[in-house]
Structure 1
Amino acid sequence: MRSFRWPPPPDGGPRTWGPGPGGPRTGRPALPEPETELVATPHDVRLERLVTGAGDPVTVFAHGLGNGIATTRPFGSGVAGRKIFFQFRGHGRSDAPPGPWTYQDLARDLRAVADLGGATRAFGASLGAGALCALLGESPERFERLVFFLPAVLDEPRGEVARQRLTSLLDAVESGDASALAEAVSVELPAAVRNTPAGWAYLRQRLDQLLRDGLGPGLTSLPDQVPLPDIAALSAVTAPALVIGCAGDDLHPVEVAERLAAVLPAATLHVYDRPGVLWTERADLRERISGFLNE
């Protein structure tokens, strides 16, 4: 395995050993960033929002820690109706009120965006799945259909490996060191992708966004928190739910997805056999999510 390094080669493509073509290999260009808006919420935190599509039903999409609208949009590519993407507090152009913050604060952000847009369905990825669980613990009937992608934590604290990875990401963003941040973000990529043109393109896009917008300091306490005091509260959720997990994912243990699916009365569980599904199972993942939400 070649070692990872930053910055990338000047021609935009990774160097390889031995003879071979030396022309630029830049990978697939990133989509241009869409025009978003800042919306006021009842709890006085302005949140960045993007609305796409038209008609009913309306689905709200909640992103993971250090991610945002750009990384969440692909999940809604085949979903019918209107789609609402947003940035939690401390992400993108959203406000960063004084912290520390809790999952209940994130649930408040999610609820506000859903209520303002009339969303009846919800998708949550990682941190967003935790915020969705916190919301449902208080209002189990809020949504008619639910998708949880790579839930990371429920009512038990994260493992040490996961806490260290999240802390490293937050520290690297705060430091503004592009090389340290690239190292922290690179673990999101499967090993086979890290030194490819597509992998470099992804890293550039993520670093540009994180170094430009940063992350709110109130997020630093979240790796030690849980969304729910007791997972049993979710047994009152009767909406059909799809729970998606991955075997071998240290940041999102498959056991968390299994526990979540077991407590939700109308849940379907799907587990991929290896992590990195956004790279290895992208088409299947999109079809699975849109097929469930479009039923």
Structure 2
Amino acid sequence: MNTVPQLMVLHGLGATTDQFNGMFDTHFPDAPIAMNMPGHGERPRENGRASFDRFAALALDALDQLQVGSVTLAGISMGSGIAVKMARQRPEMVNGLILMRPAWMDKPNPANLKIIRDIGVWLSQGTQDEAIERLNADPFYADLAHSNPAAAKSILGAITRPHASDYAEVLTQIVEDSPLASLAELEALTTKTMVVGTPDDPLHPIEIAQAWAAKIPDATLCELPSKYTAPAAFQSELEAALDQFLSPTSTKISE
């Protein structure tokens, strides 16, 4: 069995493991363990309902198949929720959590993800072109296209991604789920954790990252520049935060 800690990355809803390209290369020189969840990338969706429980079980099974004894989990958005599920189920395996831009509190259908659920519904009801027309007519999206074009482009990607129509139900099903039944569940985490939040992020309000960090006993809240409006600064400051978080003698990062 491999007892050396490794990195596993867990992508966001509608994304793929490409989200992490270059993000952790400085701190984890070995290739991370990475897998696309069902209904993402070229991986077909499953017949059953997509859920955080199901995706966490698939990721844990992958680690068991690889005989991984110790792992650091890094998740973005949906991936953060999956990582929390995994850490609660297998605390002896998970030696670190990097929870980036979480998007759920403890209720299904969060308001910040309504546009993603709507896209899932639109794709299920019509063509991609029709879904794009409905998106362009949406007041929230129209405003965002002017105020935060990078965030708007990310939302549009939920429609234009490969197999978007075939995998549309995964979008709605995950938004209708939640990784937490109660925020109190976060208090049971015993793993050293870094929670990353950013401003100017309508899908991942920084208040969610703040709430998660306040509940996790051994958590550091790391507020970084916006991934959408200042991507270079985001990456630079993320690397500085990781320097401190991953140091054997690290103390809490200044908030």
Range into which the TM-score falls when normalised by the shorter chain: 0.7 to 0.9
Shift of 1:96: 1.7
User: Against the structure 1 CA distance between its residues 190 and 140, is the aligned structure 2 distance closer, same or farther, given a 3 Å change threshold?
Assistant: farther
- Which residue type is aligned with residue 191 of structure 2? A
Shift of 1:225: 1.9
- Which residue type is aligned with residue 87 of structure 2? L
- Which residue type is aligned with residue 17 of structure 2? I
Output the CA distance in 2 between the equivalents of 1:173 and 1:285. 37
Output the CA distance in 1 between the equivalents of 2:174 and 2:234. 28
Question: Residue deviations 1:72-103, cap 9 Å, x none?
Answer: 22322323234112111111222422132221
Aligned residues: percent identity?
21
Question: Residue deviations 1:119-152, cap 9 Å, x none?
Answer: 5110010011111122223333431111000011
Look up the SS of the partner of 1:59 in the other structure.
Answer: strand
**Match runs of 1:262-281 below 5 Å:** 262-272=214-224, 274=226, 276=228, 279=231, 281=233
Aligned to 1:11: none
Aligned to 1:123: 74
User: Pick from 170, 182, 191: which aligns with 1:230?
Assistant: 182
- Which residue type is aligned with residue 193 of structure 2? A
Output the CA distance in 1 between the equivalents of 2:114 and 2:60. 29
- Which residue type is aligned with residue 250 of structure 1? P
Shift of 1:167: 1.6
Q: Count residues in correspondence.
A: 235
Structure 1, unpaired ranges of 5+: 1-54
Contact preservation (8 Å) 1:77, 1:286: no
User: Pick from 62, 73, 76: which aligns with 2:21?
Assistant: 73
Contact preservation (8 Å) 2:116, 2:158: no
Contact preservation (8 Å) 1:110, 1:132: no
- Which residue type is aligned with residue 87 of structure 1? N
Aligned to 2:120: 170
- Which residue type is aligned with residue 270 of structure 1? C
Q: Which moved more, 1:273-282 or 1:251-260?
A: 273-282
Q: Give the structure with higher Rg (CA).
A: 1
What's the TM-score once normalised by structure 2's chain length?
0.74
Output the CA distance in 1 between the equivalents of 2:203 and 2:155. 19
Output the CA distance in 1 between the equivalents of 2:23 and 2:44. 24
Output the CA distance in 1 between the equivalents of 2:147 and 2:62. 37
Aligned to 2:253: none
Output the CA distance in 1 between the equivalents of 2:155 and 2:86. 32
Contact preservation (8 Å) 1:243, 1:267: yes
More helix by percentage: 2
User: Against the structure 1 CA distance between its residues 219 and 292, is the aligned structure 2 distance closer, same or farther, given a 3 Å change threshold?
Assistant: farther
Aligned to 2:105: 154
Contact preservation (8 Å) 1:125, 1:151: yes
Q: Which moved more, 1:232-241 or 1:214-223?
A: 214-223
What's the TM-score once normalised by structure 1's chain length?
0.66
Aligned to 1:244: 196
Aligned to 2:38: 89
Look up the SS of the partner of 1:164 in the other structure.
Answer: helix
